[in-house]
A = this chain, B = another copy of it.
Amino acid sequence: MNPPPPDTRERILRTAAEAWHAQSYDGVGVAELCRRAQVHKGSFFHFFASKEDLLLAVLDRHAHEIRSWLDAGPFCPDVPPLQRVARFFAGMAEQARQDIAATGAMRGCPIGNVSSELATRIPAVRAATARVFAVMEEVFAQTLREGVAVGELAPDLDPDITARALLAYMQGLAVLGKAFADVNRLDGLQRGIAALLGVPAHALHPPATHAQTKDQRDRPPRATPPRGDD
């Protein structure tokens, strides 16, 4: 009810996620984070025991929110399963295009980036990123299972292994996209997905236009207000 509620903690979390995605964990220090979030250093360490602690909080939030985000967005069951997958990858491509337009570079996957940078150095971070990936894998697998049930996919397709392959392909596209920074490289992307799914390329017809996955200002049905308790 407070007009200017002290969303300090929230601001730090969001700023960190954004900054680390745009650059890297080591590349953005606590001081700059504080500058961007308009928070004083003392306050920062009032909310987070350390920089690493903040990273784990960011990843934890991802792990807890990504499923509902996916379910409400690209994987919303308002279209058949195969189209959801296509819509998800189309969203990725659109995101990449926006990155290029805005900054001339692609930022890649925030989770994949962090994992690549820190998985060997900080075991807890490795585990946290794995948890996020596992959720995505589950969402993929569930969708694929539906696809099999509906008859869009071959009955002998292994949903779990295929989900894993899809996730790998997606991460690889993120890595290559970031390295090449060229949207044209993304052509032929659909073909790979279709191949992994064992369907003809035309089975993944482009979902009309970019779905409105980003204009969601409304509160989701789940009543839990944004609070990063862990």
A119 to B123, CA, bound (A): 24
Tell me, rounded to whole Å, the shortest Cβ–Cβ distance linking A178 to chain B.
Answer: 5
Tell me, rounded to whole Å, the shortest Cβ–Cβ distance linking A148 to chain B.
Answer: 15
Size bracket of the A interface:
35 or more
Task: State whether the Cβ of A222 lies closer than 8 Å to any Cβ in chain B.
Answer: no
Given the contacts A23-B121, A169-B169, A188-B161, A116 and B195 also touching, CB distance less than 8 Å:
no
A120 to B19, CA, bound (A): 11
List residues of chain B with CB within 8 A of the CB of A173: 168, 172
**Which residues of A1-39 have CB atoms within 8 Å of chain B's CB atoms?**
22-24, 26-27
Structural contact, B133 and A180, CB atoms closer than 8 A: yes
Interface residue ranges, A against B (CB under 8 Å): 22-24, 26-27, 103, 105-108, 111-113, 115-121, 123, 126, 129-130, 133, 158, 161, 164-165, 167-173, 175-176, 178-181, 185, 187-188, 191-192, 195-196, 198
Known interface pairs A119-B181, A168-B176; 11 further A-B residue pairs with C-beta atoms within 8 A, sorted by A's residue number: A108-B119, A108-B120, A112-B179, A116-B178, A133-B180, A158-B191, A165-B195, A169-B169, A169-B192, A171-B176, A172-B172
